[in-house]
Amino acid sequence: MLTSTVVTWGKSRLTLTWRPGSELPERELITSVHGFCFKDGELLLVNLNDRGWDFPGGHIEEGETAETCFRREAFEEGYVSGNCTLLGSIVVDHSENEQWNESSRYPKVGYQVFYSMEITDVHPFGGEYESSERRFISPEKVSAYYPKWNAVYQEIIHEIERKS
């Protein structure tokens, strides 16, 4: 059974559905790449200058693979590196989004690819990119930091726990 939830991002109503697996969506349909990074059982959160507490992630740059993108984002935002595992993707469906049209920035149905990272190196935090700090927390406390936490993200954490 797939886990789905309806969210409101800004003025947009979207359906998010978790799709586990090791197969990447088509490159042009990947809207962003994210992941959950762990060190000694604790989850890395980064305080992003424009969004508050979040997990590392961002848009793929030209010439990058999804994994290379995630590794770069984890370093730029959290100053960590480590071993990555592809977990799957979130299907981001704009079918019920009245704000969406053919000229919208994102496809009607796009994908956010998710990885997990077992952190091997915690580098000195520099704050040179878009984050002002990092914090390692118990995964059970994530909703206290991240108000947009939802059932799909929780299912991804369960996926990581199942693979551990």
Q: The CATH number of the domain where 64 resides is what?
A: 3.90.79.10
What is the separation of C-alpha 69 from the centre of its chain, rounded to a whole number of angstroms?
11
pLDDT(164) > 80: no
Q: How far apart are CA 70 and CA 67, in angstroms?
A: 5
Check if the beta carbon of residue 83 is closer than 8 Å to that of residue 117: yes
pLDDT(127) > 80: yes
Q: How far apart are CA 30 and CA 39, in angstroms?
A: 27
User: Domain span at residue 37?
Assistant: 4-163
pLDDT(104) > 70: yes
Of 72, 84, 68, 74, the C-alpha closest to 118 is 84
Query: How many domains does the chain fold into?
Result: 1
Give the pLDDT band of residue 1 (cuts 50, 70, 90): low
Per-residue pLDDT, averaged over 60-86, amounts to 97
Q: Over the stretch 35-64, which tens digit does the pLDDT of each residue have? A: 999 999 999 999 999 889 999 999 999 999
Q: How far apart are CA 29 and CA 109, in angstroms?
A: 8
